[in-house]
Amino acid sequence: MNQKTPTRTITRRLGFILGRAALGILGLIIGLGIFEMGLRLFPIPNRFVMQKQLEDLWESDPELLLHLKPNTDQWITGHPEFRFEVITNAEGLRDETFTTDQTIATVGDSFTFGFGVSAEEAWPSQLESLSQVPVANLGWAGWNSYVYPVSIQRYAIPVHARLWLWAFFVNDLPESAGAEAFITSGQTDFKTWSQQGNIPNPTSKFPFNLRSIQLLAALFSPDLFLLPNSGDALFDDGSLNFRYGRYAWQMSDPTRPEVQRGWEILEEKLYETRQLAAENDAQLVVIFIPSREHVYWPFVQELMADVNIKQLDDVDTRLKLFCDENNIGYLSLLPGLRATGLTGQMLYFPNDGHLNADGHALAASLTYAYLLEHRLLVGE
């Protein structure tokens, strides 16, 4: 009897310890589950949250790659310095329902769509207020030159737009080559293809799709709170501060085959669209939107001695030359944005490469002045 007592005591203690451990593990699992649910109800902004919110708006399109779901209303809250609402019309565009007399149609990417700002703050809407003529916003964050002519045929021509404003940002070059490669492959489901890891930042898989894991990763690496290519370092002179990086140089590197092909596609599609404009009694104007570093180069040039601003200037120059040679209107926003930027006014989000509300307002003002100067508005 005395020999069995220690064994029973040890067994009971072991059972007690294991039971307590099981309860502890169960409590931890429940706690993590509650924490995960809380982060889904009240997400802390980071790139993973934004990516999911944006992907929930996507639909594949066999001609345009992707477009936004029609008649939807979604808040994008995943960035630490801005939140904005995306409301789409029946065409899946960030605009009101189109009428058949849209005087101006704007095509472009996220800069035309108005990434980070409200629809009313985006430059197409502000141009509409300045000009007092209807402006259709055909911009979307996933489009590029390869699909712009399709967008114009699908949306601008049916509403009889007579002025087509084609906004260009430098990442258009490799992205147009990528769009061509996908479309000519015969595939049609671009959303699934992209989520399978064929473009940067594909959909995260378990356990990395858990908000708690994503938040933990972002806490260890603060850059994960921001979108990729938001900048590599911070400029701060006491009054002006913003992130800067080499994204624009990477996107325009003339030695990259995809950039070289991107130029060919851009020029082919512009020529095609100019012909399309002539057939529909419309006028085509290209608008060059510079990167944040291009605008604020005098501030950061000493910090970026390993790159040459001429590479970005050459993009502007080459595009203007092509437009001049092919009777296409051309407006570079660089001089106007830089003149204001050098006064110390921030025209881009400090931690994101897109125009802020002030930048969109200035872009609309510069565009309006160009249209007036060249008598391109109806009745001018």
More confidently predicted of 103 and 211: 103
What is the rounded distance in angstroms from the CA atom of residue 351 to the CA atom of residue 353? 7
CB contact at 8 A, 333 and 289: yes
Q: What is the pLDDT of residue 195?
A: 62
Tell me the pLDDT tens digit for each residue of 305-359: 999 999 999 999 999 999 999 999 999 999 999 999 999 999 999 999 999 999 9
- The CATH architecture to which 47-373 belongs is 3-Layer(aba) Sandwich (3.40)
Mapping DSSP to helix (H, G, I), strand (E, B) and coil, where does residue 196 land?
A: helix
Residue 283 confidence (pLDDT) above 90: yes
Q: What is the pLDDT of residue 274?
A: 98
Tell me the pLDDT tens digit for each residue of 170-211: 999 999 999 998 888 888 888 877 665 544 444 456 566 777
Tell me the pLDDT tens digit for each residue of 227-242: 888 888 999 998 899 9
Q: What is the pLDDT of residue 205?
A: 61
Q: How confident is the model at residue 378 (pLDDT cuts 50, 70, 90)?
A: low
Indicate the range of 10-19, 57-66, 253-262 predicted with least confidence.
10-19
Residue 249 confidence (pLDDT) above 70: yes
Q: What is the pLDDT of residue 24?
A: 78
- Residue holding tokens 């005098």? 298
Residue 43 confidence (pLDDT) above 70: yes
Calculate the average pLDDT of the chain. Answer: 89
pTM of the model: 0.88
Q: Is 30 exposed, middle or buried (0-12, 13-18, 19+ CB in 10 A)?
A: exposed
Tell me the pLDDT tens digit for each residue of 292-310: 999 999 999 999 999 999 9
CB contact at 8 A, 364 and 165: no
Mapping DSSP to helix (H, G, I), strand (E, B) and coil, where does residue 278 land?
A: helix
Q: What is the pLDDT of residue 340?
A: 98
Measured CA distances, 102 to 67, 248, 378 (Å) = 21, 33, 11
What is the mean pLDDT of the segment spanning 25-49? Answer: 76
Residue 1 confidence (pLDDT) above 50: no
% of residues, the chain, pLDDT over 90: 65
Q: What is the pLDDT of residue 196?
A: 58
What is the rounded distance in angstroms from the CA atom of residue 24 to the CA atom of residue 26? 5
Domain residue spans of the chain: 1-42, 47-373
